[in-house]
Structure 1
Amino acid sequence: MEKNILGSLALAAMGDAMGAATENLTFHQIRETFHGQVTEFQKPGDTAFALGNEPGQVTDDFSQIYLILQEVLETKEQTITTEIVKQAMIKWSNMPVYFNRFAGPTTRSAIAMYKGEKQEMQPLEGAVIVDYASKATNGAAMKISPAGLFHPGHQDAAIQDAITITRVTHDNHLAISGASAVASAVSASLKEEVTFDEILEAGLYGAIEGERLGQDTSRTVAGASVVERMKLAFDIVEEPGSKEENLLKLYQLIGSGLHVSEAVPCAFGIIKANHGNAQQAVIDAVNIGYDTDTIATIVGAIVGAISEKNREFYDMIDFIEKANDFDITSLAQRLASRIS
């Protein structure tokens, strides 16, 4: 279990750090800029939000996973509570290296509310006020893996924790659906002798349950269904043609942007396209285009548990830990002890 948890954390961090260099580029621009796929840690250029990062440094995606897990482990709570998530997000917001450079609009609005801060811009008189709760961006799905990691093989419990985490920053049914899909898949990935198909099925189950429960407990907002787009993503990557051709179709038809109904279905489509090859799935996510760091973080969190744990794997962890001053290995150990 400890190795599987470490795998999920490590590949999520790998996806975030590698994707930081390709973010905001198109599918074709990545291949033109880097003369093929990016397969190693790169220093982000001037097109990336992570400009100034060194190779191996993560962004908002994995840093929020790391902070949430730390906050939960520092308490005696046996489950993830709203207050724990709020405190983790406030602590994260006090880290300029992440918050000032990477925080998305939905997360910024939620944290400002919890800290009692006024918004920088006031709406015009008579304008419709759209708050953080109505924005179905992918910021919840990117940080949701702790919900799955705390409940290995117990998908419904993972979904419940996913709802708790999501509602702190993205209180709507689409964000809950996408986050629940990821949490359910992460939970399933920790089961013994699990298959790729079972992980994908768990993801779809989570999306369906998350949509249903989100409509009951949260706000229903406009936007494409995460569930239906996941189904479409699965169909796209199984069409005739090469994997590269199908990944391009995934990028063009599903999208790989900030909306949860793009990012999460895209991530699951990439996983299905790489049936049995966890690390290549992360590489393909890094190279899909647009919001690559988030999509690669999601993919890594889902497939990391079943990735190959060889010398290169542990060298990668060492590199990431040094680049970010993290102790991912210890975090995995502490989490495995807590849930055993």
Structure 2
Amino acid sequence: MTLHSKIQGTLAMAAIGDAMGAATENLSFDQIRTLFGSEVTDFKKPGETAFALGSEAGQVTDDFSQIYFLCNEILKNDGSLTKDTVIKAMLAWSDVPMYFDRFAGPTTRSAIAMYKDPSLKMKPLPGAVTVDYASKATNGAAMKIAPAGILHPNDIEGAIEAAITIAQVTHDNSLAISGACAVAVATSVSLAPHATINDVLSAGFYGAVRGETLAKEVSREVAGPNVVDRIQLAYTIVNGVGTKEDKLRQLSQIVGSGLHISEAVPCAFGIVALNKENVLQAVIDAVNIGYDTDTIATIVGSMVGAFIDLSDPQFHSLFETVQLANDFNLVQLANSLADVVGFHERKQC
């Protein structure tokens, strides 16, 4: 597979996971199966339990839309990722009511308010759970981090540096950065020509460790469950006894699949580890894990999308639907990103 096709798969599977998970978000593991009669394997129109109520089947939420805006802003900046690039992308994203008004979490909402009016930094913000946006270790740091890996294929340290740049704009703390680096490195390694899922999992774990270490130097340490330890817990569950269904339930109930970075990212790693031979099923399992399903499915899609068979009929149908529902051309976006990456690599030679 070429870099172009791998990036296309990464974007596609992140978008598919987000849009499919929009209908199952906020439901428990068992509620999903009761409400839909079985696991969800295609796009559904979100119902009353979902934040995406009012969206059509196949439309994405905040998760992939932030990836999309970041990628486009990076391209406008000739492939360069800076803090200003990230801020511009987030501000442009916040100007789209269908994304910001309905989906923006408290941490992201507070950060954007501060960038629009710096005087708000130390004032309570409507809808925010804290006056200090940077102290919240939520999964918004990891859901949008795929561009850090895409810009640095098979370049672990480059992906980590880029992930820190992106995360610090909205989630400037040790736990959020650790989770963001884990996913960024996993995405980066997935783009290597002969990568395997095992490579992705081991490199991602290193990313979590390295990200936490660096974050304590450049950011701030915050209280909360440790991302590294929780990834290890997820792997313990995956390698334990029981059926796959049993293990997915344990990931949901023991590791957790919610808003905190130390739930969402370790849960995603566990789901990937359970689906080394079928990356589309990994995203489907994330959609059906319960709670913050759209975010976890976006993260899983970012980590393993590079391995998808672009000719697979089921994937092709989902891919065409998600592009049409959101007016995206992800093939063109992937090609543009791959061209920019290739240009920068040639300049460095």
The two structures share one fold, judged by TM-score above 0.5: yes
Look up the match of 1:144.
145
Paired with 1:7 and 1:325, the residues of 2 have a C-alpha distance of 17
Alignment of structure 1 residues 209-220 onto 2, 5 Å: 209-220=210-221
Shift of 1:314: 2.8
Query: Does the aligned pair in 1 maintain the 2:280–2:315 contact within 8 Å?
Result: no
Shift of 1:118: 7.0
Establish whether residue 230 from structure 1 lines up as the match of residue 251 from structure 2: no
Look up the match of 2:161.
160
Look up the match of 2:345.
none
Look up the match of 1:186.
187
> Which residue identity lines up with residue 283 of structure 1 in the other structure?
I
Alignment of structure 1 residues 87-98 onto 2, 5 Å: 87-98=88-99
Establish whether residue 27 from structure 1 lines up as the match of residue 49 from structure 2: no
> Which residue identity lines up with residue 77 of structure 2 in the other structure?
T
Look up the match of 2:277.
276
Shift of 1:130: 3.9
2:62 to 51, 60, 72: 60
Paired with 1:137 and 1:207, the residues of 2 have a C-alpha distance of 15
Paired with 1:312 and 1:236, the residues of 2 have a C-alpha distance of 29
TM-score normalised by structure 1 residue count: 0.96
Deviations 1:82-138 (A, max 9, x none): 00000000000000000000000000000000000776x965xxxx96410100000
Establish whether residue 4 from structure 1 lines up as the match of residue 15 from structure 2: no
Unaligned runs of 5+ in 2: 343-349
Paired with 1:276 and 1:189, the residues of 2 have a C-alpha distance of 14
> Which residue identity lines up with residue 88 of structure 1 in the other structure?
A
Paired with 1:178 and 1:130, the residues of 2 have a C-alpha distance of 22
Number of paired residues? 336
Paired with 2:264 and 2:275, the residues of 1 have a C-alpha distance of 17
Shift of 1:220: 0.5
Paired with 2:123 and 2:189, the residues of 1 have a C-alpha distance of 44
Establish whether residue 110 from structure 1 lines up as the match of residue 111 from structure 2: yes
RMSD of Structure 2 on Structure 1 (CA): 1.7
Unaligned runs of 5+ in 1: none
Shift of 1:285: 0.2
Query: Does the aligned pair in 2 maintain the 1:255–1:263 contact within 8 Å?
Result: yes
Query: Does the aligned pair in 2 maintain the 1:138–1:175 contact within 8 Å?
Result: yes
TM-score normalised by structure 2 residue count: 0.94
Paired with 1:28 and 1:313, the residues of 2 have a C-alpha distance of 26
Shift of 1:79: 3.1
Shift of 1:317: 1.9
